[in-house]
Amino acid sequence: MKLEGRVAIVTGGGRGIGRSIALTLAEEGADLVVVGRNPESISETAEEIRSIGRRSLFIKTDVSIASDVNSMVEKCIGEFGKVDILINNAGITRDSLLVRMKEEDWDLVLRINLTGTFNCMKAVTKYMMKQRRGRIVNITSIVGVTGNAGQANYASSKAGIIGLTKSIAKELASRGINVNAIAPGFIDTDMTISIPEKTREELLRQIPMGRLGISKDIASCINFLVSDDSDYITGQVIHVNGGMLM
Ligand code: NDP
């Protein structure tokens, strides 16, 4: 087990990609802090992690609120004494074309996806700097690179995450902290479930591998990026999309 003795925080760990990431890290030996707004779903993930023999804490947190995030990280330190890994996975969409996009939907998506990632990185950094070791992986998106009609807010937040990742990777490289991003393509989760069948078929035609991704496809890549196998990799955006963007 590559992550024995490591402590990881996963935001949005109650369902979808975040849940798969949390369980995969636990299977590799990590102890977990599972973060989200819905106590029921994060407690279920935490319970499942305990059932495979790892320690686990669930902490109700809205990543867009800095004081919530700071108190979550302090609880993690109180319980486990350290934090080795941060996965910024929490994210939302509020899609509409620009002319109809409400200012509140613009603000909310930026606040949760981008400011939430900033809040969590800021809160763990002082502890990781003291340890002179840390791994941060931020979940961006293919549309943060390509743009997407109807997703100006979401694509901007995800493009922002790429700039944030590279900047902080440069700031922290000399401190033993690696900061990378993963850009998923289209992954079968609650977020994509409402895509109409016709659009889904069109999307499938754009994916050379001929299938949507599953959460585990992202979790497996995370596993590599937080292990010692990726020691010399920082500031990168790894695309996991079945060949959709080359
Ligand atoms: P889901 O909608 O299934 O899950 C989103 C998660 O984010 C939930 O666990 C939710 O928990 C959490 N979350 C949302 N807002 C907050 C908040 N303010 N504070 C804390 N947690 C929050 O989405 P996916 O699993 O599909 O997506 C996970 C990540 O992957 C997102 O960042 C998404 O943008 C990205 N992504 C997904 C793709 C896909 O095709 N599915 C493609 C590219 C990127 P709760 O409701 O409990 O707060």
pLDDT for 237 equals 98
Q: Compute, in angstroms, the gap from residue 114 CA to the centroid of ligand 1.
A: 12
pLDDT for 104 equals 98
pLDDT for 232 equals 98
What are the φ/ψ torsions at residue 103 (nearest 5 degrees)? -55, -35
> % helix / strand / coil in the chain, to the nearest 5?
50, 15, 35
Q: Ligand 1 atom closest to Cα of 154? A: 34
What tokens appear for 108 in the block?
A: 């909310």
Evaluate: CB of 15 within 6 angstroms of ligand 1. yes
Evaluate: CB of 17 within 6 angstroms of ligand 1. yes
Output the CA angle 4-58-168, nearest 5 degrees. 65
The beta-carbon contacts of 200-208 under 8 Å, at least 24 apart in sequence, are 206/244, 207/241, 207/242, 207/243, 207/244, 208/242, 208/243, 208/244
Each of the 246 residues of the chain gets a pLDDT tens digit; together they read: 899 999 999 999 999 999 999 999 999 999 999 999 999 999 999 999 999 999 999 999 999 999 999 999 999 999 999 999 999 999 999 999 999 999 999 999 999 999 999 999 999 999 999 999 999 999 999 999 999 999 999 999 999 999 999 999 999 999 999 999 999 999 999 999 988 999 999 999 999 999 999 999 999 999 999 999 999 999 999 999 999 999
Q: Ligand 1 atom closest to Cα of 158? A: 34
What tokens appear for 26 in the block?
A: 């636990």
Nearest to 117 by CA among 73, 165, 67, 184: 165
Q: Compute, in angstroms, the gap from residue 165 CA to the centroid of ligand 1.
A: 18
Q: Give the active site residues.
A: 154
What tokens appear for 162 in the block?
A: 């790429």
pLDDT for 44 equals 98
The full DSSP string for 95-152 is -B-GGG--HHHHHHHIIIIIIHHHHHHHHHHHHHHHHT-EEEEEE--THHHH--TTBH
